[in-house]
């Protein structure tokens, strides 16, 4: 039976989750160099446009429609046909199925947007748009069906993923790593100029993500209930604990506790608690968050340095590793005292749940890693993926979009040299820079 309170909460949660994607744009935009700000913001924003349409056309039906072979939904819900105002008891018995589809749309939007962190500052915009469309269709939608769709094989196995540790974070993080490795290092990788250009923008993005994440996690109860309250509380607790864990280990390793580090630690905590938030106690969330901050710190520093890949904005180190830890930790700390519809984890006498979580993690890694590589190879062969080294050095904002986030920093001499360099390399995609000559 429809419940107006539940409908109001999920409508609000949907808006909160949508806000996370602009928040991600600010977070990523502050971390890149000032010559690539527009490109980074635009890539994230473009995902909103693409997936909003793709989801209505057929994405929701593939992810949550009637099951086909335990791996995908059929197309009976394409264009939201047969969805409507009635609830679907299997997914959300107190809200319209149409509203559930709206809520899930916001998850489908932010997930591919997270991949921008792995390929930032080096990919063609047109190729990016095609890749994201394919990724949303052939990676996200099947994986969402596996884990959350009625009949999906991981769902049938009993995996616990309350709000997207596997579906959202491992998928995007592993895919971001594959993108980074496939594209190769940025032209100026290792240069001291590669650093966050706008720390206040990073903090603004973090704040918007943290705010929106309450809809992400607490909204996943799909009701205004005590479970949504619990998910809200443990989300905030784990996030703060993770930021503190990151700060402490960063201070120990480098001698400084940075604001960028604290923001990254907070995001790591949000990621880590996501799969567990509807299944764990406050005490469990403290451990998941604190350890998550430490684990993600080392994955974005020592591990990245050891293997030498250029994960520009740490999509893998933050989301891939954070989501993996969160999914495994769910198998450790889950308890039916919080959610009777879940299961106990290892620490509550059920080692089988940890095994199920590990199977889900492994399946997500393999499927997303291999699938992303195939899609990258396909797009690269047809369109080409990477811009030229010369274009990278100039900056993608001017090269690809003929815009500049900070026009007052674009002097006449710099603007003229940019255009002349593009003409010499045959890569002039822009008109002469519109800036007054000092004469």
* Residue 53: predicted pLDDT: 98
Phi-psi group of 45: left, alpha or beta (phi > 0 → left; psi -120 to 50 → alpha; rest → beta): alpha
The verdict on residue 277 lying in a domain is yes
The total number of structural domains that make up the chain = 1
Query: How many angstroms separate the CA atoms of 138 and 254, rounded?
Result: 42
Dihedral sign, Cα of residue 276, residue 148, residue 182, residue 126? negative
The verdict on residue 317 lying in a domain is yes
Residues 70-89 have a mean pLDDT of 96
Q: How many CA atoms lie within 13 A of 324 on its CB side?
A: 19
187: burial class by Cβ within 10 Å (0-12, 13-18, 19+)?
middle
What are 109-155's pLDDT values in tens digits? 999 999 999 999 999 999 999 999 999 999 999 999 999 999 999 99
- Residues whose CB falls within 8 Å of the CB of residue 409, separated by 6 or more in sequence, listed in order: 34
The verdict on residue 42 lying in a domain is yes
Query: How many angstroms separate the CA atoms of 249 and 243, rounded?
Result: 10
Phi-psi group of 187: left, alpha or beta (phi > 0 → left; psi -120 to 50 → alpha; rest → beta): alpha
Q: At residue 327, what are phi and psi to the nearest 5 degrees?
A: -65, -40
Dihedral sign, Cα of residue 218, residue 220, residue 222, residue 228? negative
> Are the C-beta atoms of 413 and 393 separated by less than 8 Å?
no
Helix (H) / strand (E) containing 26: helix 4-31
Of 210, 48, 25, residue with least CA distance to 136: 48
> Are the C-beta atoms of 183 and 101 separated by less than 8 Å?
no
pLDDT higher than threshold 50 for residue 249:
yes
The verdict on residue 134 lying in a domain is yes
The verdict on residue 347 lying in a domain is yes
Please state, as a whole number, how many other Cβ atoms lie within 10 Å of the Cβ of residue 133.
18
What are 163-173's pLDDT values in tens digits? 999 999 999 99
Mean pLDDT (the chain) is: 94
pLDDT higher than threshold 50 for residue 360:
yes
Report DSSP state, residue 165. Answer: I
As a whole number of angstroms, the longest Cα–Cα distance in the chain is: 78
pLDDT higher than threshold 90 for residue 414:
no
CATH number of the structural domain spanning residue 136: 1.10.3430.10
* Residue 409: predicted pLDDT: 65
Residues 282-302 have a mean pLDDT of 98
Query: How many angstroms separate the CA atoms of 246 and 327, rounded?
Result: 20
* Residue 193: predicted pLDDT: 81
> Are the C-beta atoms of 179 and 330 separated by less than 8 Å?
no
Of 277, 202, 197, residue with least CA distance to 239: 277
432 vs 90: which has the higher pLDDT: 90
* Residue 439: predicted pLDDT: 43
Query: How many angstroms separate the CA atoms of 290 and 240, rounded?
Result: 8
375: burial class by Cβ within 10 Å (0-12, 13-18, 19+)?
buried
The verdict on residue 420 lying in a domain is no
Q: Which residues pair with 256 in a beta bridge?
A: none
Query: How many angstroms separate the CA atoms of 328 and 338, rounded?
Result: 18
Query: How many angstroms separate the CA atoms of 326 and 50, rounded?
Result: 29
Query: How many angstroms separate the CA atoms of 379 and 256, rounded?
Result: 42
Query: How many angstroms separate the CA atoms of 84 and 77, rounded?
Result: 10
Residues 336-349 have a mean pLDDT of 98
Helix (H) / strand (E) containing 9: helix 4-31
pLDDT higher than threshold 50 for residue 412:
no
Of 127, 19, 109, residue with least CA distance to 59: 109
At CA 338, angle to CA 151 and CA 245, rounded to 5? Answer: 100
- pTM reported for the whole predicted model: 0.93
Range of the domain at 201: 4-382
The verdict on residue 409 lying in a domain is no
Coil/strand/helix, residue 222 = coil
Of 48, 202, 32, 196, residue with least CA distance to 123: 32
Q: Which residues pair with 72 in a beta bridge?
A: 68
Report DSSP state, residue 433. Answer: P
* Residue 192: predicted pLDDT: 85
* Residue 322: predicted pLDDT: 98
pLDDT higher than threshold 50 for residue 436:
no
Q: Which residues pair with 92 in a beta bridge?
A: 88
What is the SS3 assignment for 382-418? HCCCECCHHHHHHCHHHHHHCCCCCHHHCCHHHHHHH
Residues 289-296 have a mean pLDDT of 98
Minimum mean pLDDT range among 37-41, 82-86, 136-140: 82-86
> Are the C-beta atoms of 164 and 147 separated by less than 8 Å?
no
Q: At residue 335, what are phi and psi to the nearest 5 degrees?
A: -145, 140
Interhelix angle 37-54/97-114, nearest 10 degrees: 150
What are 173-198's pLDDT values in tens digits? 999 999 999 999 999 888 888 999 99
Which two three-digit tokens encode residue 299?
């994955």
The verdict on residue 406 lying in a domain is no
Q: At 13, is the pLDDT very low, low, confident or very high (cuts 50, 70, 90)?
A: very high
């Amino acid at each position: 039976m429809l419940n107006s309170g539940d409908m109001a909460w999920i409508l609000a949660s949907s808006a909160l989750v949508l806000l996370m994607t602009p928040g991600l744009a600010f977070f990523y935009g502050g971390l890149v160099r000032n010559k690539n700000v527009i490109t980074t913001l635009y890539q994230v924003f473009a995902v909103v446009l693409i997936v909003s349409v793709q989801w209505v056309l057929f994405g929701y039906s593939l992810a949550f429609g009637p099951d086909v072979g335990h791996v995908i939904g059929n197309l009976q819900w394409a264009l939201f046909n047969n969805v409507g105002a009635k609830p679907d008891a299997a997914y959300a018995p107190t809200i319209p199925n149409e509203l559930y589809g709206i809520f899930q749309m916001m998850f489908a939007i932010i997930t591919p947007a997270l991949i921008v962190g792995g390929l930032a500052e080096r990919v063609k915009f047109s190729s990016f748009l095609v890749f994201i469309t394919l990724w949303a269709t052939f990676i996200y939608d099947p994986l969402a069906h596996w884990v959350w769709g009625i009949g999906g094989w991981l769902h049938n196995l009993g995996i616990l993923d309350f709000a997207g540790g596997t579906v959202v974070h491992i998928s995007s993080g592993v895919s971001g790593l594959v993108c980074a490795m496939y594209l190769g290092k940025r032209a100026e990788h290792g240069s001291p100029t590669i650093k966050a250009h706008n720390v206040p923008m990073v903090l603004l993005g973090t704040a918007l993500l943290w705010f929106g994440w309450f809809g992400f996690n607490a909204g996943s109860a799909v009701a205004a209930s005590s479970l949504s309250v619990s998910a809200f509380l443990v989300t905030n607790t784990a996030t703060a604990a993770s930021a503190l864990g990151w700060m402490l280990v960063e201070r120990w390793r480098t001698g400084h506790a940075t604001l960028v580090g604290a923001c990254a630690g907070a995001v790591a905590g949000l990621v880590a608690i996501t799969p567990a938030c509807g299944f764990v106690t406050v005490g469990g969330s403290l451990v998941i968050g604190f350890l998550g901050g430490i684990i993600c710190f080392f994955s974005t520093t020592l591990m990245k340095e050891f293997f030498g890949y250029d994960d520009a904005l740490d999509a893998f180190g933050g989301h891939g590793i954070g989501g993996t830890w969160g999914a495994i930790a769910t198998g450790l700390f889950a308890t039916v005292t919080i959610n009777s519809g879940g299961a106990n984890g290892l620490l509550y006498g059920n080692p089988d749940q940890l095994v199920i979580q590990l199977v889900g993690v492994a399946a997500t890694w393999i499927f997303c890693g291999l699938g992303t590589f195939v899609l990258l190879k396909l797009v690269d062969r047809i369109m080409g993926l990477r811009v030229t080294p010369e274009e990278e050095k100039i900056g993608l904002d001017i090269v690809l979009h003929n815009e500049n986030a900070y026009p007052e920093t674009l002097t006449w001499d710099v603007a003229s040299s940019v255009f002349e360099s593009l003409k010499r390399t045959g890569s002039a995609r822009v008109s002469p820079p519109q800036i007054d000559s000092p004469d």
